[in-house]
Amino acid sequence: MIATYIPGASWLHRCPAGLKLIALLVVSIVVFPLTNLWMLTIGLIGVAACYAPFGRDAFVQFKRLKPIALMLAFLFGFHIYLGTWTEGLAVLIRIVTLVLMANLVSLTTRLDDMIAAVEPLFRPLKLFGVPPQRPALAIALVLRFVPVLMSIHEGLAESYQARSGRRRSWRLIAPLALQALAISDHVAESLAARGGSSGLADTRMRR
Amino acid sequence: MALWTKGRAAARECGLDPFRSTYAVLEGASLELNGQPVLKDITVSLKERRIGLVGLNGSGKSSFVRLLNALRLPTSGVVRIFGQPTPDCAADLPKHVGFVFQNPDHQAIFPTVEEEIAFGLTQLGRDRKSAREEARAFLARHGCAGLVERPISTLSEGQKQLICILAVLVMEPQVLILDEPFTSLDGLTALRLSQKIAGLPQKIVMVSHDLTTLAAFDRILWLEEGQVRMDGVPGDVLPAYAADLERRAATESWTGSSL
């Protein structure tokens, strides 16, 4: 979800995030009991066709299936061993269809739209005194600081290598955790300096 | 709910006057952190357009500027911002006193540039959509239209710091505090950013070790061990400060005792 969004103006980009998420949910539910290979294949072709607006980049997107290829091969083999190859193929098509469709949603939905779409689900938190925008902020912070922590780890690893000659070590976990805690202090301060996590519109004392 | 309305009422009644020319007044302000005195009995009022803060590490510069937007509250004494003591107006201050931190990676909260800028606007109560549109227009006005969709993590250090400054400016504060904003930047980028800052309508309080940039300021405060050692125009304070650094480098050991 971090780097996958591709700016564009296709019909999928214009489609509201909530609708896309609901469509994904509905298709997931519909596809699971389906065993008819023809219908499954039509579904797969339909989803693949939705990649058309990306032109050549679509094939780059299909490569995203690579990391799960091993798992798919294992599942296919498992079904051939215990059942029939048609069952195996059905499972394969089902998973590929859903992964491609989910990827399509991340490709065409901005992160903040996605967060806004799921925010209503957090509304019950209000009963416990937690503003519903809090989880959205948390998601944004995670996405923001994963690359930051990765580059800090990179820096620690370099510094470790420069004096030990070895590349990676479990010893880096402790300093990385300490740095993460130090950063969290800084970020909390920065958030407070701009009005805190509840915003300035409903001004409440921060301390 | 009761707490919410109470907080809101307190903010409305806090009576802060953002058009007052003397924006900050410290009256015998002291600060202790973990039992250690950091600032000692400081009395000073700030009204100049550009004020620079110099001093060694640990002299209290960062704590001093944090008193100005209630990130820290004085342990004793009073800090008034726009006429109001900071504890009363803490929740309202981010609107009037913007703060730019040393390390942009510690300041930017959101994954992309547009979200980072839009955050300040939603903080002020704009809805998400108009905040986004305003953020885009604002970035375009500052020559950053090309950065709108970029993840913060892919920006250069200079771009990151610029976005951090813009993210604060979009909230239209009257005072902008910068805590060593050029530390991680190369000479060219630092020069560009300091020119950008010089052209801002905001009143500026900047902590810096860059004496060349500070030479163009209106007033310099030199802090030493939590107290104001010297206060005046750059032409007086900066040469004295530089001479003191030379003297101490020649005569003091690493632990501060005389050689």
- Cβ-defined contact of A200 to B111 (cutoff 8 Å): no
CA distances from B8 to A44, A129, B19, B120, B143 (A): 54, 16, 22, 19, 37
So what's the pLDDT on residue A26? Answer: 93
- Cβ-defined contact of A148 to B153 (cutoff 8 Å): yes
Q: Across residues A41-54, what is the average pLDDT?
A: 89
Q: Which helix (H) or strand (E) holds B97?
A: strand B97-100
A93 has which bridge partners?
A: none
So what's the pLDDT on residue B15? Answer: 80
Distance CA A132, CA B126 (A): 16
Band (pLDDT 50/70/90 cuts) for residue B5 is: very low
Neighbours of B74 (CB within 10 A): 22
B175 has which bridge partners?
A: B97, B203
Band (pLDDT 50/70/90 cuts) for residue B1 is: very low
Of A177-191, B22-36, B130-144, where does mean pLDDT reach its minimum?
A177-191
Cβ neighbours of B160 in A, within 8 Å: none
Cβ neighbours of A194 in B, within 8 Å: 94, 99, 109, 119-120, 123, 167-168, 171
Q: Which of A143, A183, A194 is opposite residue B111, by nearest beta carbon? A: A143
So what's the pLDDT on residue B131? Answer: 93
Distance CA A114, CA B8 (A): 30
Cβ neighbours of B150 in A, within 8 Å: none
Band (pLDDT 50/70/90 cuts) for residue A201 is: low
User: Closest approach of chain B CAs to the CA of A186, in angstroms?
Assistant: 6
- The string of pLDDT tens digits covering residues B98-149 is 999 988 888 888 888 998 999 999 889 898 889 999 999 999 999 999 999 8
Q: Judge whether B49 is closer than 8 Å to chain A, CB to CB.
A: no
- Cβ-defined contact of A204 to B7 (cutoff 8 Å): yes
- The string of pLDDT tens digits covering residues A133-152 is 788 788 888 888 888 888 88
Three-class SS of A144-201: HHHHHHHHHHHHHHHHHHHHHCCCCCHHHHHHHHHHHHHHHHHHHHHHHHCCCCCCCC
Neighbours of B19 (CB within 10 A): 7
Cβ neighbours of B183 in A, within 8 Å: none
**ipTM at complex level:** 0.74
- The string of pLDDT tens digits covering residues A72-85 is 999 888 888 888 88
Q: Which of B8, B109, B118 is opposite residue A144, by nearest beta carbon? A: B109
Q: Judge whether B123 is closer than 8 Å to chain A, CB to CB.
A: yes
- Cβ-defined contact of A193 to B132 (cutoff 8 Å): no
So what's the pLDDT on residue A4? Answer: 65
- Cβ-defined contact of A200 to B94 (cutoff 8 Å): yes
Cβ neighbours of B149 in A, within 8 Å: 7
CA distances from B95 to A206, B47, B137 (A): 14, 18, 20
So what's the pLDDT on residue A139? Answer: 82
Cβ neighbours of B99 in A, within 8 Å: 190, 193-194
Q: Which of B90, B101, B105 is opposite residue A206, by nearest beta carbon? A: B90
Band (pLDDT 50/70/90 cuts) for residue B179 is: very high
